Structure 1
């Protein structure tokens, strides 16, 4: 029997399902008999409870289960016969006016859209390139030195300068009232490294141990402490101790402390360069992948299933709650987070997922076993025992699926870059790493 599919709006469809009541009742009777064999009720031996008593106790719940199952089976068969790809769960309601001996239900649902991908030749993509130079290696060496610096107390007559570690007491007041987080004793920070707001650092820089100073501090409008954001506080700060930083020399002892096998400065720089080049490669790939995906979406036409978007909003919302919980926010699971803030991101994810799936299917861009192995080998290369990392990835289907998704995205990126109007742009190491 042909299935009649009614189009309601865009991707929304409706199918009417008819179920013979006799078949439903037969299944209900069968399940009640199974229940009767094992059910325990006061006054009866197991398996000896009369059927009318079993039906009275369990009839409604069994009938509900059977109806759900039968409607589900009928819906699955109908959409299969109609060749429909259903997005999300159907909304099913009983229909009045069914023929005698039948029950009818309306199933309203969405289908996945037809995806039309236009000509990529007209899409402009800016492809980034970046190199690791001596300056980038020097900066990394400086970071390693700072991580291993030691501190020595300055003489009382010397003032605090950038790089010093200072110990201070401070108290801030807004309109004469101390605010939460505005007071501390024996608080340490490094001058000139952005650990404190600029006005605070500017006030302490040049002070000597034992000195006190009052100064105004204007909190930025986007300051993380909402109670003080955009307000100006009056601070009293007292410097209790100033310590100058001593950076280790870049010599054989320093290099060996970092675990470099040959113990030479050239060996250290070579190791840093190799690691930075690996990081640069992944960052460039990520930026270029984003540009390629943007270009792909720009030439695609499709309607978005509301059910898929709503499901994605739900996932993003759960992710936000989990993040709050991880940060130690109290009662994060019940935090009021408006769903609409996730809507643009959810729509983009769904659109991109559907477009990528269509491109992969029509151009056979699935990840090959050889590509998976090569990518895992590359991920494992930076570890001390790469073979253990390779086994770790291939020993778990979920981990391998994550790698497969990355490789597939790389295949899509290469395909798009091969078709689009590409312009190369060289960026500095700092710009790429977000430090510029």
Structure 2
């Protein structure tokens, strides 16, 4: 086997690989010898078929496998000896297209090598960690929201008319073409007006009713209604209003706390404080991460593989185009040409991606099976009732597993780098933190 360099310009590499006919023949003989003990042929005992017959019978089939393995082996040996890491899958082409059995195999291999990544001088990076304490006003606001969610309904005066948001207690009987239908009747049913619990048009007609009123509610079932026998049909519901109740927020006291699993009000406040400060810490981490990436982008410079930049710029342009054209669901549109701004952003992403990958590898950062499982579970919750199918899809889809694993790995590398840089804490208000987070959306 002979490997000859044909290109070495920047990160671009080219090689001519020649596998001699003798090497290829030896590989075929080796594979046939491995398989021989299990081969049977008429007139010969199992494992005793002469090599010449094996070669005649199975040689052409084995030759293709031997050729592929020889090329793969030559590439692996090259990368092991050269230390090169290809940025993308190498382009491999057979150059002697008129090849026939008995000829040498000539292959051209081209690729872009990943650049050498310089070490990060952490002493030059200084970050500010924003700290926000849960203020009394924020805690009170959260308590008020909990009290509203735990609201009760109390009777209005008998002459009071029902408003949107009120609860009406009703008996009703539904009819289509004068005939009652299954599931169309109930007694003492509590219905919150505006909740959307009933079909469109039903609740709106009960706004303004009083306790003791009787009303005929005329509606039409939607065309896509679940019951095909009712879909699209007009119906009349005879409704008797038995009570009209107004919402009343629960009292903010120990009883409210117990409804949410806390021992008392003070314990509930402590839980809210912990939750709020965890949210603030998450937002603060996002701001500090951006600060770290900005500092790294300025501090570290190296040549970038053009193919990676082009691919990333194309993906950015494509994604942003779909965000601007949400009505276009498919991808059968014209090619989206990346702008200079897209290319600049792509260069930053590729540079930082390669840098973080290098730092993570040197620091032996790994995503554990438990962390991966938890991440998959978190995403599976977005598909209620289909969690098992989502798990199976992820297990069978390497690309999906990589998409889930990549941000986990990045966050662990970022945490590792946070430990290396100098960090100072700065206490700010919730509003200032919100402004800092919003600023992230305006930047690259």
TM category, shorter: 0.5 to 0.7
Please say if residues 24 and 67 of structure 2, whose CA atoms lie closer than 8 Å, have aligned partners that are also in contact. Answer: yes
Match of 2:34, SS? helix
The residue number in structure 2 matching 1:428 is: 431
Change in Cα spacing, 1:104 to 1:3, as seen in structure 2 (3 Å) is closer
- Are residue 252 (structure 1) and residue 254 (structure 2) matched? yes
CA RMSD of aligned residues (A): 5.7
Shift in Å, 1:272: 1.7
* Structure-2 residue corresponding to 1:411: 416
* CA distance, structure 1, for counterparts of residue 33 and residue 313 of structure 2: 43
Q: How much has 1:413 moved relative to structure 2? A: 4.0
Asked whether the 8 Å contact 1:120–1:299 carries over to 2, the reply is: no
Paired residue secondary structure (2:87): strand
Q: 1:400 to 1:13 in 2, by over 3 A?
A: closer
1:364-391: CA deviations, max 9, x gaps?
Answer: 86769xxx9xx9xxxxxxxxxxxxxxxx
Cα distance between partner residues in 2 of 1:146 and 1:57? 82
Structure 2 gaps, min length 5: 170-188, 210-214, 218-236, 319-328, 372-401, 439-444
Distance 1:29 1:134 in 2: 81
Q: Are the structure 2 counterparts of residues 303 and 423 from structure 1 closer, same or farther at C-alpha, using a change threshold of 3 Å?
A: farther
- For each residue in 1:380-410, what CA deviation from the matched residue of structure 2 results, as whole angstroms up to 9, or x when unmatched? xxxxxxxxxxxxxxxxxx9999877534312
Is the contact made by 1:95 and 1:106 (CA closer than 8 Å) also made in structure 2? Answer: yes
The answer to which of 22-31 and 292-301 deviates more is 292-301
Match of 1:160 in 2: 163
Q: Output the CA distance in 2 between the equivalents of 1:405 and 1:286.
A: 13
Corresponding residue of 2:273? 273
Could you say which residue in structure 2 is the equivalent of 1:12? 12
Distance 1:433 1:152 in 2: 44
Q: Deviations over 1:238-265 (max 9, x none)?
A: 9x987532332222222223222xx321
TM-score by length of 1: 0.56
Residues in 2 aligned to 1:366 and 1:133: alpha-carbon distance in whole angstroms: 40
Q: Are 1:87 and 1:308, in contact at CA under 8 Å, matched by a contact in 2?
A: no
Cα deviation for residue 311 of structure 1 reads 9.5
Match of 1:140 among 142, 155, 164: 142
Q: Where does structure 1 lack aligned partners over 5 or more consecutive residues?
A: 168-185, 213-237, 318-334, 376-397
Match of 2:151 among 140, 149, 152: 149
Sort the Cα spacing of 1:43 and 1:297 in 2 relative to 1 into closer, same or farther, 3 A: farther
Residue 24 (structure 1) aligns with: 24
Q: Are the aligned partners of 1:27 and 1:66 in contact in 2 as well (CA < 8 Å)?
A: yes
CA drift at 1:273: 1.0
Q: What is the alpha-carbon distance in structure 1 between the residues aligned to residue 135 and residue 253 of structure 2?
A: 21
State the SS of the aligned residue for 2:15. Answer: strand
Q: How has the CA–CA distance of structure 1 residues 5 and 134 changed in structure 2, closer, same or farther, with 3 Å as cutoff?
A: farther
> C-alpha deviations, 1:106-134, integer Å up to 9, x for none?
11112112446899999997764422111
Pairs within 5 Å for 1:109-128: 109-115=111-117, 128=130
For 2:53 and 2:252, how far apart are their aligned partners in 1? Answer: 88
- Paired residues in the alignment total 334
Q: 1:87 to 1:401 in 2, by over 3 A?
A: closer
Cα deviation digits, residues 328-355 of structure 1 (max 9, x gap): xxxxxxx844798899687665432212
The equivalent residue for 2:92 is 92
> What CA distance in whole angstroms lies between the structure 1 residues aligned with 2:431 and 2:9?
50
Mapped to 2, the partners of 1:347 and 1:61 lie a distance apart of 46
Corresponding residue for 2:77?
Answer: 77
Max radius of gyration: which structure?
2
Corresponding residue for 1:303? 304
Distance 2:35 2:314 in 1: 41
1:183 counterpart residue number: none
Q: Is the alpha carbon distance of 1:434 and 1:286 closer, same or farther for their aligned partners in structure 2, counting shifts above 3 Å?
A: closer
Residue 25 of structure 1, CA deviation = 0.3
Secondary structure in 1 matching 2:17: strand
User: 2:134, 2:273 within 8 Å by CA — same for their partners in 1?
Assistant: yes
